């Protein structure tokens, strides 16, 4: 098999769920491009989408996601606790009345966060599969119209 250069494309996802997995909060996806070419003419996935040059989480993106989550919880008359790691982008925590943020102790994230136990990997595999399927379906539709 010939050697291939590994892609430097990157996607950052913020996933949050209840401890039972029955309640899932809106996913935040951060990519390099605000409007990826592969999504042109395709209905977007139901998630929040942000973009920056390195596809990294920023404190502004995280803070905005928290505000939207708080707004949703207020609307649903719920109060929740979010357990998060000490990543530097998690430093800008807005005032909220329906969401309480609790930081995990250092070096415990991989042990205490269930999402790190394979759920994030499964989500990424599912997302990539769905993205490819949508692109192929879109190409098929355009091909069928042209015939």
Query: What is the C-alpha to C-alpha distance for residues 106 and 98, in angstroms, rounded to an integer?
Result: 25
CA atoms within 13 A on the CB side of 53: 0
97 pLDDT more than 80: yes
Task: At 95, give phi and psi (nearest 5°).
Answer: -70, 130
| Confidence label for 68 from pLDDT (cuts 50, 70 and 90) | very high
Place of tokens 């250092």: 106
| Torsion over CA: 98, 104, 110, 113 (sign) | negative
76 pLDDT more than 90: yes
Which pLDDT belongs to residue 146?
A: 47
| Confidence label for 131 from pLDDT (cuts 50, 70 and 90) | confident
pLDDT digits (tens, 9 = 90+) for 1-24: 566 666 667 778 888 888 777 888
User: Cβ distance 93 to 70 under 8 Å?
Assistant: no
Task: At 45, give phi and psi (nearest 5°).
Answer: -70, 155
Q: Any idea how long the chain is?
A: 147
Query: What is the C-alpha to C-alpha distance for residues 45 and 28, in angstroms, rounded to an integer?
Result: 11
Q: Which two tokens stand for residue 125?
A: 């595999």
Is this prediction's pTM over 0.95?
Answer: no
Query: What is the C-alpha to C-alpha distance for residues 139 and 79, in angstroms, rounded to an integer?
Result: 44
Q: Which residues contact 14 (CB under 8 A, 6 or more apart)?
A: 27, 28, 29, 30, 57, 62, 65
Query: What is the C-alpha to C-alpha distance for residues 125 and 114, in angstroms, rounded to an integer?
Result: 17
- Per-residue pLDDT averaged across 84-96, rounded? 88
- Per-residue pLDDT averaged across 97-111, rounded? 84
């Amino acid at each position: 098999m010939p050697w291939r250069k590994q892609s430097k494309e990157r996607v950052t996802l913020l996933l949050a769920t209840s401890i039972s997995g029955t309640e899932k909060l809106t996913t935040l996806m951060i990519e390099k491009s605000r409007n990826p070419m592969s999504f042109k003419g395709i209905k977007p996935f139901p998630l929040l989408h942000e973009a920056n040059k390195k596809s990294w989480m920023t404190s502004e993106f995280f803070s905005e996601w928290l505000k939207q989550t708080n707004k949703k919880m207020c609307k649903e008359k719920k109060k929740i606790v979010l357990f998060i790691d000490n990543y530097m982008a998690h430093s800008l925590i807005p005032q909220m009345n329906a969401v309480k943020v609790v930081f995990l102790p250092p070096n415990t994230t991989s042990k205490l966060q269930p999402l790190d136990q394979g759920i994030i990997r499964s989500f990424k595999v599912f997302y990539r599969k769905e993205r490819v399927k949508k692109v192929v379906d879109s190409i098929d539709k355009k091909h069928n119209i042209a015939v």
